[in-house]
Amino acid sequence: QSGKEETPPPGGTDGKVKIYYMQKQGTQDYFLGEAKGAKDKAAALGIELVMVDLGNDTSKTLDAINTAAAQKANGIIIVVPDPSVGPAVVQAAKDKGIHLLTTDDQICVDKPKPADCSPDKIVPRIGFSGTQMGTEVGKKAAELYKAAGWSPAETAIIAAWKQDVTVCTDRVKAALPAFKAAGGPDLKLIEVGTDNTPPDAQTKVAATVTANRAVKNWIVWGCNDENVTGGVTALENAGYKVENIIGVGINGDLACKAWSAGKATGTKASLWLAGHEVGSLAVQSMYDKIKNNKDFEREAYAKTTMVTPDSYKAAGLTC
């Protein structure tokens, strides 16, 4: 076979619902929450759910879809390791006649970059995109910056992320325009490449500070709390006071620890993503599709909250 043959669309079900949920970086806190939400919902609905961790391996994605097909799964929910694998995922699911829903990251039916995709070709999705997250971060940073009353000449921004992870890049790149749109001035921006772990972020930011001793106040954002915590810690170690640091994280998992412990920290806010709800909603939507043939919504958003040391408890973030 040349690989281009079409298979008939999905048939009815024998009543048994089997869903595969595939996640990139399944060992990260956010995705663990999402997995938990999915499992709880699946248990409540009494359906079979198989979780698969794809790591960052695009090739494993296709293996996992093939496995799901061989296992006669009815539906696949997926967070792709990289959006470029999207068309292959769509094609594979179509070949095998399996319903496809994505969470968190968008994929396109026929383009490797969702940004180039015509809206009707975007696969139905639940969650919050990297660009949306970055926008929230930029907005919050601008708000905190204005409240701090720093002079633009003495302030710089550190953006720390693993530069070959596309969704991280999307988040970070969206933050700056949002910062400016929310009234932030033109500040010196220093991009720092890390491997997305706190120790590495700390090392790299420490070195960056060396080269920028003149800066008095720092804004730190990045791909996630790991980068921001590492960066903020490096600044604190280098002698900067917490008042001179504005760290805005994503996910809240590490920020919340420092806040709970009652320590003053330069991490002033973090965008809490309720992974649990995304997972739960995704499983419910897939169930409705399989059982009742109810169409997916094109875009369903889950709740995200920008939390601060004062608000995180009320928002329901625990750690």
Partner 1 sequence: MNRVQNLSLIGALAGVLAVFGILNDQYLSLSNLAVIGQAVTIAGLLAVVQTAVIICGGIDISVGSQAGLAAVVSSMVFAWTGDGLANGNAFAAIGVAIVVGAAGGVVNGVIIVYGRVNAIIATLAMLAAYKGIAQLISGGRAQGYLLTNDLFIFIARGSVLGVPAMIWILGIVALLVHLLLKTTDIGRNMYAIGGNAVAARLAGININKYIISVYMLVGAVAALAGIILAARSTAGHPTAGSEGLELKAITAAFLGGCAIAGGKGSIGGTLLAVTLLGALEIGLTVVGVNPFWQNVAQGALLVVAVVIQQRRTGDRAVGLPG
Is residue 65 within 8 A of residue 76, CB to CB? The reply is yes
> Can you tell me the distance from the alpha carbon of 130 to that of 115, in angstroms, rounded to the nearest whole number?
12
**CB 144 to partner 1: min, Å:** 21
Name which of residues 130 to 189 contact partner 1 (CB under 8 A). 163-164, 166, 169
Buried b vs exposed e over 33-58: b needs ≥16 C-beta within 10 Å?
bbbebbbebbeebebebbbbbbeeeb
Is residue 176 within 8 A of residue 189, CB to CB? The reply is yes
- For residue 40, state whether it binds partner 1 (rule: CB under 8 A): no
**CB 77 to partner 1: min, Å:** 15
**Candidate residues 13, 43, 44, 63; the one interacting with partner 1 per rule CB under 8 A:** 63
> Can you tell me the distance from the alpha carbon of 201 to that of 228, in angstroms, rounded to the nearest whole number?
8
Could you tell me which stretch among 125-133, 177-185, 208-216, 279-287 binds partner 1 (CB under 8 A)?
208-216
> Can you tell me the distance from the alpha carbon of 179 to that of 261, in angstroms, rounded to the nearest whole number?
29
Name which of residues 118 to 137 contact partner 1 (CB under 8 A). none
- For residue 193, state whether it binds partner 1 (rule: CB under 8 A): yes
**CB 169 to partner 1: min, Å:** 7
- For residue 58, state whether it binds partner 1 (rule: CB under 8 A): yes
**Candidate residues 37, 75, 83, 279; the one interacting with partner 1 per rule CB under 8 A:** 83
- For residue 70, state whether it binds partner 1 (rule: CB under 8 A): yes
Q: Which residues contact 16 (CB under 8 A, 6 or more apart)?
A: 47, 48
Name which of residues 220 to 259 contact partner 1 (CB under 8 A). 226, 229-230, 233, 236-238, 253-254, 257-258
